[in-house]
Amino acid sequence: MCASLAVALGGCADRRADSVIGAGATFPAPVYGGWAQAYHDATGIAVNYQPIGSGGGIRQITAGTVDFGATDKPLSAATLAKLDLSQFPLLIGGIVPIINVRGIGAGQIRLTGDVLAAIYLGQITRWTDPAIQRLNPALVLPDLPITVVHRADGSGTTFVFTSYLARKSAAWATTVGAGDAVNWKAGLGGKGNDGVAAFVKQTNGAIGYVEFTYASKSHLAYALVQNASGAFVAPDIAAFAAAAAAAPWGKVPGNAIVLVDQPDPAAWPISAATFILMKRRPDNPARSATVLRFFDWAFRTGDATAIRLSYVPLPSAVKDLIRHQWASEIASTPRPVAKAR
């Protein structure tokens, strides 16, 4: 109650912090919701998470109307310093290209970042294009036009996907670039993961990209994508975890790491971390400490919930790094949490 009033009134004098509030990215919302429910059952402390989008999360934590913000697009170290925020990853996920081509099942078609970029640039327009044939010599591809489907709404999913394309294709980097919403050169936009999956499902010859959860839910064929070490890998939880383990956490200022194209041979190339933003000097230290206790609890007991919902928990070495970061960066970190367990 107090937490919801706090948003309305822009401040709340409550010091006990039996409820805290967060807002931001929609991508991790199911897991945060699941954790919050279990945490409330275990401790009686309510964590309210409002999935209003990464942009909204950044704006709200900057304005101080929430206790933590969440974003899929990491803020740069310079921005973090300017806003006096601390940023750390909390979960890993993956983005998966899905296709609807009659006769081609899950994991049968192989694609590279370069070919994906050319498809999304509108340069490769048919499934029989030599660039696709060369990667799939054994497949009989139908002579169909490729219908490109992308997200219509601004989204962290799009940010990760376009970051990957920009990394793999110079043409993409110069003409489109990476962002939550970009100037698409081809195709049509669906609203949300569901919208993209629906358009792909309804259009023979379509390709789209969705979060891993939706790829398995929609029963559409996914593509194998070549990773940085040259292997064609399938999108699964082990491949996302490999990408997370390979990333240089703690060595990059502000943890501003986009997980795409990690060098590990088992890593899924379009993996992503989703981040939490907290004030380094919180207005209300008691509430901030409650949030950190919740995250610490989630690190210790929340992995099963995340996996059940097709998300990937952080490797334990990364969790320890983050606990150290809390202690050094956030003024109100409670002592038992700060010590790595």
In angstroms, give the least distance from the CB of 61 to another protein: 13
* Residue 161 binds another protein, judged by CB under 8 A: no
| Site of tokens 């230290």 | 285
- Quote the Cα angle for 77-241-51, to 5°: 60
- 184, 244 in Cβ contact below 8 A? no
- 49, 91 in Cβ contact below 8 A? no
In angstroms, give the least distance from the CB of 88 to another protein: 19
Number of residues forming the site for another protein (CB under 8 A): 33
d(CA 32, CA 46): 12
In angstroms, give the least distance from the CB of 70 to another protein: 12
Comparing CB distances to another protein, the nearer of 187 and 254 is 187
- 104, 221 in Cβ contact below 8 A? yes
* Residue 53 binds another protein, judged by CB under 8 A: yes
Among 22, 34, 113, 156, binds another protein (CB under 8 A): 156
Cα dihedral 230/235/238/240 (nearest 10): 80
The 8-class DSSP code of residue 255 comes to G
* Residue 174 binds another protein, judged by CB under 8 A: no
Residue count of the chain, please give it: 341
Structure tokens at 148: 């490109």
* Residue 208 binds another protein, judged by CB under 8 A: no
Q: Which of 222, 212, 227 is nearest to 269 (CA)?
A: 227
d(CA 16, CA 122): 56
- 65, 20 in Cβ contact below 8 A? no
* Residue 181 binds another protein, judged by CB under 8 A: yes
Kindly write out the interface string for residues 260-299 of this chain, putting x where it contacts another protein by CB under 8 A and - elsewhere.
----------------------------------------
Among 7, 131, 198, 256, binds another protein (CB under 8 A): 198
d(CA 317, CA 304): 17
* Residue 76 binds another protein, judged by CB under 8 A: no
In angstroms, give the least distance from the CB of 183 to another protein: 4
Comparing CB distances to another protein, the nearer of 205 and 285 is 205
User: How many CB atoms within 10 Å of residue 154?
Assistant: 16
Among 47, 182, 233, 292, binds another protein (CB under 8 A): 182
In angstroms, give the least distance from the CB of 212 to another protein: 20
Comparing CB distances to another protein, the nearer of 187 and 313 is 187
* Residue 178 binds another protein, judged by CB under 8 A: yes
In angstroms, give the least distance from the CB of 269 to another protein: 21
Backbone phi, psi, residue 232, to 5°:
-95, 115
Comparing CB distances to another protein, the nearer of 56 and 235 is 56
Within 298-317, which residues bind another protein (CB under 8 A)? Answer: none
d(CA 72, CA 333): 23
Residue ranges that bind another protein, judged by CB under 8 A:
52-56, 58, 73, 147, 152-156, 176-184, 187-191, 195, 198-199, 202-203, 206
